[in-house]
Amino acid sequence: MATQTPSEILDGIATARVAFDKNEPGSREALIDYGRALISSLEIPSEFIQRTFWAEPAHSAIIRIAFDVRLFQHLEEAGSEGLSASVLSEKTGIDVTLLQRLVRHLVAMNLVTFRDGAFRGTTLSNGLAAENYQHSVRFCYDTSRPAFNGFPEHFKKNRYTPPTLSGTDGPFQSAHNTNLPFFDWLVATPPNLDDFSSFMASYRAGKPDWFDFYPVQERMIEGFDPSVNGTLLVDVGGGRGHDVATFVSRYSAHPGKVILQDREPVIATVDASDAFEAQAHDFFTPQPIQGARAYSLHSILHDWGDDESVKIIQNLVPALKPGYSRVLFNEIVLSEEKPTLAATNMDMMMLAHLNVRERTEAEWTALLAKAGLKVIKIHTRPGVAESLIEAELA
């Protein structure tokens, strides 16, 4: 899209606007993509440098300050009346002259507005006032950003080779001067683990779940055989159960059992539910539930290299019933020709923090084949970064 002329992009915006007015899936994201493409087609190099290396870093730094002083919360509470600079200074504790300069940049970046002598929140800034986004910004600014800033020096020092799969020699370790793998570091440095959990919840907020674009009735419920073992769905490594809780509420009349699996410390935090069962299970050990209709793994394999991913799948394969059981991988499938920003964002997160990567369709097909599975179909939805890779025994 970035190679199109401004006139072609504007035509695309007009078409996407019609789709947006009809509330078609992906139309909002298409308008955002066209907006970015339009900027890229119009900016001259000096403007690009100022936006990328001045405006945007300053923007994120001011947002980080805003969360410390509850600036967005104060503006949200003020509503349509807004707050004068002096009142906002009093509430935040920021010197009024400094505050005016900082918030003026937020106005220029379209995050807040200024009218009739008062700063006012926007729909976006009011949304950011939620506590989970406050934790997310802290994680992104304090934890992730140093790793990204360290890319040039880290990769130069390592002769521009990718980090190993040991998880202890990547940009994250360089930035934070640690030998710990990313997740171990999060546990060892409170409140980083909680901030990361909030970030991951925020990352998926407002996006469809995999069962919103996978034909559950046709591919799972129809053909379900209760005599096999009575289990419809096993969510492998499903954390505290967000996916299964939403699934059973969406398909309240589903047949069979729904089972959530994760490590014992995680399962111990899950509230008892009549809607699904919770079972402690390490996916690096053999799958104990035999012959379920479907096994889902949501963003599991992207945390692991190919060797570990093959082991995870191979521990699942013996439990599958040929011609009946399906394995559903909810993962990013990178497009080589037209990669989306959401997909490459996550790939850079993987590179910076976990020394692993997102995969292309060809890489997914080869990986699953190595473990004994074949891809039936890759289900997608416009505007959603993650696809649903449906597989079965080869």
- Residues 387, 378 contacting (CB under 8 angstroms): yes
DSSP for residue 286: -
* Per-residue b or e along 234-254, where b marks 16 or more CB atoms closer than 10 Å to that residue's CB: bbbbbbbbbbbbebbeebeeb
What would the two tokens of residue 136 be? 């997310």
Strand extents, DSSP E, the chain:
113-115, 118-120, 231-236, 257-262, 277-280, 294-298, 326-334, 359-360, 373-379, 386-393
CB atoms within 10 A of CB 196: 22
**Amino acid letter for position 149:** N
- What is the amino acid identity at position 3? T
Neighbour tally for 1: CB within 10 Å: 15
> 159-165, long-range: CB within 8 Å, 24+ apart, which pairs?
162/351, 162/355, 163/351, 163/355, 164/355, 165/305, 165/307, 165/308, 165/355, 165/356
CA angle 100, 103, 109 (to 5 degrees): 140
Local structure of 388: helix, strand or coil:
strand
310: CB partners within 8 A, 6+ apart: 367, 370, 371
Catalytic residue of the set 281, 302, 353, 379: 302
Strand segments, DSSP code E, in 47-123 are: 113-115, 118-120
Query: Annotated catalytic, 379?
Result: no
User: Look-up: residue for tokens 């159960």?
Assistant: 241
Specify whether the CB–CB gap between 54 and 97 falls below 8 A.
no
Q: Which of 81, 5, 75 shows the shortest CA–CA distance to 40?
A: 5
Question: Which residue in the block uniquely carries the two structure tokens 């369709």?
Answer: 361
Residue positions annotated with a catalytic role? 302
